[in-house]
Amino acid sequence: MPPSVADTAGAAIGRPRGVRRPRLTSVSGLVIVLWIVCAFVVLLPLSAIIVLAGDGSRLAFLFEADILEAAANSLVSALSSALFAVVLGTAFSYLLDRSDLPGRAILRLLALSPLLMPPFVGAIAWIGVAGPTSPVNLWWREAFGSPLWSIYGGDGVIMLLTIHSYPIVMLIVSAALRRIPSDLEQAARIAGAGPLRAATSVTVPLLRPALASSFIVVAVGNLADFGIPSIIGLPERFVTLATLVYRYLQSGTVDDPLQVAATIGVVILVLAVLGLAANALIMRRGHQLDVSTAVVRPLRLGAGRIPLGIGMWILILGVTVLPLCALLMQTLLVAPGVEPTWDNLTLDHLTTALTTETALQGAANSVGLAVTAALVCGILGLAIGVVVARVPSRVTTWLGGAAMLPQAIPGIVIAVAWLALAPTLGLFNTPWLILAAYITSFLALVVQAVAAPLETTPASAEEAARVAGAGRLRSLIDITCRMATPAAVSGALLVAVTAARELTLSVLLLSPGSQTLGVAIFNFQQAGAFSTASAWSLIVAVVGLGFVSVITRRLK
């Protein structure tokens, strides 16, 4: 057979005969477009912060006394809170999933509720429980001359980071518990081990990968938390890297504060990436077990069932409901520290909160930014999730990894990265800067919500559409996208809730006219308007818990 024109041309340029040039399909074009968008949203800001700090001119500044102190405080608070969260979350998971503790279902929902409250709101709430003017400390001061314990300082920061982190451990450990065959414990008990011995010798060793993974995830997340250290730590001069960067950017106490902040941000970024790599290695080396079909026999607590149940109820209610009650009292009392009598109750603080122009403007800005971020993340996350799940290749796998990368990067790094990029893009001192940071931070929520269920769903419907004559892209749009739209909507709603109450990004990227509600509450607290801050915190907590409960029902 004579060679075709294409083969002749291919031979002329050095390509072997019979090998055709790869054709760019519509799906390939979509992947390229998504890569370009993802590179702009994720890779470009991270590259900007590395370039800004890359000349190393500020590395010596990292050894200044205040930075070393802040770094030590950050490491101590992050590692300590992660350790306590793992212990507490693991104990809660086992008791609520593998024991006959009374009221386990309600206790599990209550124990997970701190995950739904913004950490800075939780900090304001806990001031009413253990602050200097809390009822307990006032009574103790009158009886013994000094407060029982003040939440301000490093120990308070560690405690609150633990409270807001142990639900993450619960979710990870509970998922791992469901993968551990229950008949392993039963075999140990048949061999003569008691219930506690069977749990510690069989179940806990199999949980080690999940425990190590949850420790790393919590430690990385708490390393650069801003809300809790700023509200609880700063009054006692407990400075962390996040609060130090905020001070540098706001006060200009150092030369070229943005480059200094970028250098600090790169250090935190390196720690986060190392943690992410360690987490991936741990999970890869974890035990792979088949799920058992044996009926789970809960651990019999025996005579300790009722006392342990009462203790769990007291502990979980104290951690979850008590702060909300204290927040309510701070809102209703005429002044902090007064006796909670009917004469000292008022709605004035709530009225002031709902009529303060700055807070209302912040609430409007938060809603606008949150809705816009939810729409952008919903559309972009739907496209990336569908491509990652239904177009398996090395290119799409790396695309999914790039989109998920910000989930392991502290918010302070993302904020400084966009600050470094803002002057070049003309976003400096505009609300679009906050929006861009929101999209970078929260895109992974939608990608994960879309890709996870699709990866376990058969592709038979798409194959049927292809057989009927639809192209690859058409079948993805008509079939896969429609199936994944409810998951994308749920993910977008979660983005909206998270963005509306976010603080770290907003407070570092604040510009004239773009104040958010989280920043407004933070400013009230810093200015001494504690009751107004408590009123808005109560509103955010109640609305957030209600909204997330609706999303949870929708996901179910």
Helical segments of 405-503, H only = 411-425, 431-455, 460-467, 472-475, 481-500
Q: Assign 247 a pLDDT band (cuts: 50, 70, 90).
A: confident
pLDDT at 310 over 60: yes
Q: Assign 194 a pLDDT band (cuts: 50, 70, 90).
A: low
Q: Assign 19 a pLDDT band (cuts: 50, 70, 90).
A: very low
How many angstroms separate the CA atoms of 548 and 261, rounded? Answer: 34
Angle (CA) 195 200 203, round 5°: 95
- CA dist 311 → 109, 308, 316, 497 (Å): 17, 5, 9, 33
How many angstroms separate the CA atoms of 205 and 290, rounded? Answer: 16
Query: By C-alpha distance, which of 505, 498, 552 is closest to 377?
Result: 498
Query: By C-alpha distance, which of 273, 516, 494, 502 is closest to 404?
Result: 273
For residue range 443-487, what is the model confidence (pLDDT) as tens digits? 988 988 888 777 666 666 666 666 666 666 777 777 777 888 888
Task: Give residue 368's pLDDT.
Answer: 93
| Residues in CB range of 519: below 8 A, 6 or more apart | 362, 503, 506, 507, 510
Domain boundaries, the chain: 26-52+346-555, 58-297+304-332
Higher pLDDT, 473 or 115: 115
Contact 245, 71 (CB under 8 A): no
Higher pLDDT, 525 or 470: 525
Write out the two tokens for 517: 């509600």
Task: Name the phi and psi angles at 106, rounded to 5.
Answer: -70, -40
Task: Give residue 15's pLDDT.
Answer: 44
| Residues in CB range of 298: below 8 A, 6 or more apart | 98, 99, 100
Q: Which of 167-181, 432-446, 468-482 has the lowest mean pLDDT?
A: 468-482
Task: Give residue 6's pLDDT.
Answer: 43
- CA dist 509 → 272, 364, 425, 512 (Å): 21, 17, 15, 10
Question: Please, which residues bridge with residue 99 across strands?
Answer: 299
- For the segment 366-383, the average pLDDT, to the nearest whole number, is 93
pLDDT at 410 over 90: no
User: Would you mind telling me the total number of residues written for the chain in this entry?
Assistant: 556
How many angstroms separate the CA atoms of 107 and 104, rounded? Answer: 5
Contact 72, 285 (CB under 8 A): no
How many angstroms separate the CA atoms of 295 and 99, rounded? Answer: 13
How many angstroms separate the CA atoms of 306 and 115, rounded? Answer: 27
How many angstroms separate the CA atoms of 416 and 48, rounded? Answer: 9
pLDDT at 371 over 90: yes
Contact 447, 378 (CB under 8 A): no
Task: Give residue 13's pLDDT.
Answer: 40
Q: Assign 240 a pLDDT band (cuts: 50, 70, 90).
A: very high
Hey, what CATH class is 58-297+304-332 in?
mainly alpha
Look over the chain and give the mean of its residue pLDDT values, rounded to a whole number: 81
For residue range 282-304, what is the model confidence (pLDDT) as tens digits? 656 555 454 444 555 666 777 77
Q: Output the DSSP codes for 138-190.
A: HHHHHHHSS-S----SHHHHHHHHHHTTHHHHHHHHHHHHHHS-HHHHHHHHH
Question: Please, which residues bridge with residue 299 across strands?
Answer: 99
How many angstroms separate the CA atoms of 141 and 143, rounded? Answer: 5
In percent, how much of the chain has pLDDT > 70? Answer: 81
pLDDT at 108 over 60: yes
How many angstroms separate the CA atoms of 39 and 30, rounded? Answer: 14
How many angstroms separate the CA atoms of 97 and 522, rounded? Answer: 38
Query: Which letter does DSSP use for residue 406 in this model?
Result: G
pLDDT at 20 over 60: no
**26-52+346-555 with 58-297+304-332: one CATH topology?**
yes
| Residues in CB range of 548: below 8 A, 6 or more apart | 116, 494, 497
- Classify domain 26-52+346-555 at the CATH topology level: MetI-like fold (1.10.3720)
Q: Assign 147 a pLDDT band (cuts: 50, 70, 90).
A: confident
Task: Give residue 467's pLDDT.
Answer: 64
Write out the two tokens for 397: 């796998």
Other Cβ atoms less than 10 A from the Cβ of 355: the count is 9
Query: By C-alpha distance, which of 524, 550, 551 is closest to 127?
Result: 524
pLDDT at 306 over 50: yes
Positive or negative: CA dihedral 398, 442, 449, 174:
positive
Task: Give residue 10's pLDDT.
Answer: 46
For the chain, how long is the longest CA-to-CA vector?
105
